[in-house]
Structure 1
Amino acid sequence: MKTPMARVLVVEDDPSLQLMLRYNLEKLGYKAEAVSDGETALVSLERARPDALVLDWMLPGISGLDVCRRIRTNARLRDLPIVMLTARSDEQDSIRGLDGGADDYIAKPCSIETLDARLRALLRRTQVNYDTLSFADLRLDPETHRAERGGRSLTLGPTEFKLLEFLMRNPRRVFSREDLLQRIWGANMHVELRTIDVHIRRLRRALNQEDETDYVRTVRSAGYALDDAV
């Protein structure tokens, strides 16, 4: 059984292949995002860590192999599951990719079924989404869709649950309204920026009782963060 709503970042510079990968991954139940080059991929990874990375070797600018090596030197990302895609089929290239830090290596063209199987195997191994998330006295279980604070069950709407899950996966990091809208609703959804303020207010009401610390920090002119610093 696949990890529910696993987040996958696809790094592929061929527009048609990128579109195909993203479309098919989403049909299979993943939450897929895509970028076209290594520099953008590294920026995206610093903003928010996905559950797995599908990385093309031959990219403009920074190669996929170099992206992989940089990820493995980053303490926050070094255990990120990486599947490397490449038109190279030589055994030595496969060895270089795996030595560079990839967890798996698939020669193009490959079927979406093969990619799905490899991703599922990596996600089972790392158990990314099945782990209960914790922050201060907050607990959130993505599999059972339950959240609590200090042992008190929280009543959250679907959007507030996704918003809290995202913030708990990226604690103490400030995200703009644009970032949050893209992460929660997706890049292709047309939603007013102020919509995020409505859901933040609802989330705060659900999280906070009298005299409890408000972990959702508003950063003036920047956005929001989940932060327990007082």
Structure 2
Amino acid sequence: MPIPTQTVLIVDDDEMWRMLARVALGRAGFRCEECGSVKEAMAVLAREPVFCIVTDLLMPELDGLDLCRMVRADPEFADTPIIVMTSSTDEAEHRTAREAGAHTTLRKDVEFKQVVSAVRFSRNP
């Protein structure tokens, strides 16, 4: 069971998906911060470290790939695990996300227990 200070940053422009992820991760013992954009996510990272980032791939303006690249480029956050969620079945998109710095990619249609497991094991690959 994670300790209460383990914060997961959830980044998605879909408010309902963020809420569902927050509930699932909260039940697993994680504290969650929610952001609707990459800009909001970077502001959260500037004020507090996080255990893991769970982000959507496709968002308006900046997307999940941009977030991966921005996090990896900053030495302060470079080791933070990033889980990219996507509706795509295209393996090339999953590969591109991993190349941009995603720790792992998951389809958005997975059960939330798989998201929780991915977060739990993100620091112990």
Structure 1 length-normalised TM: 0.52
Deviation of 1:123 after TM superposition, in Å, equals 2.8
Correspondence 1:166-181 to 2 at 5 A: none
Counterpart residue number, 2:7: 7
- Note the residue ranges of structure 2 that are not aligned, 5 or more in a row: none
SS in 2 for 1:68: helix
Counterpart residue number, 1:52: 52
Counterpart residue number, 1:179: none
Correspondence 1:1-230 to 2 at 5 A: 2-5=1-4, 6-125=6-125
How far apart are the structure 1 equivalents of 2:108 and 2:23? 17
Q: 4+ residue runs of structure 1 moved beyond 3 angstroms?
A: none
Contact residue 11 and residue 35 of structure 1 kept, 8 A: yes
Overall identity of the aligned pairs, in %: 25
Contact residue 39 and residue 61 of structure 1 kept, 8 A: no
Q: Which has the higher contact order (CA 8 A, sep 6+)?
A: 2
Deviation of 1:42 after TM superposition, in Å, equals 0.9
SS in 2 for 1:88: coil
Deviation of 1:124 after TM superposition, in Å, equals 3.2
**Letter of the structure 2 residue corresponding to residue 85 of structure 1:** M
Over 3 Å counting, the alpha-carbon distance change for 1:4 and 1:124 in structure 2 is: farther
Deviation of 1:12 after TM superposition, in Å, equals 1.0
SS in 2 for 1:53: strand
**Letter of the structure 1 residue corresponding to residue 73 of structure 2:** T
**Letter of the structure 2 residue corresponding to residue 117 of structure 1:** S
Aligned residues: 124
Larger Rg: 1
Contact residue 24 and residue 116 of structure 2 kept, 8 A: no
Structure 2 length-normalised TM: 0.94
Q: In angstroms, what is the RMSD of aligned CA positions?
A: 1.1
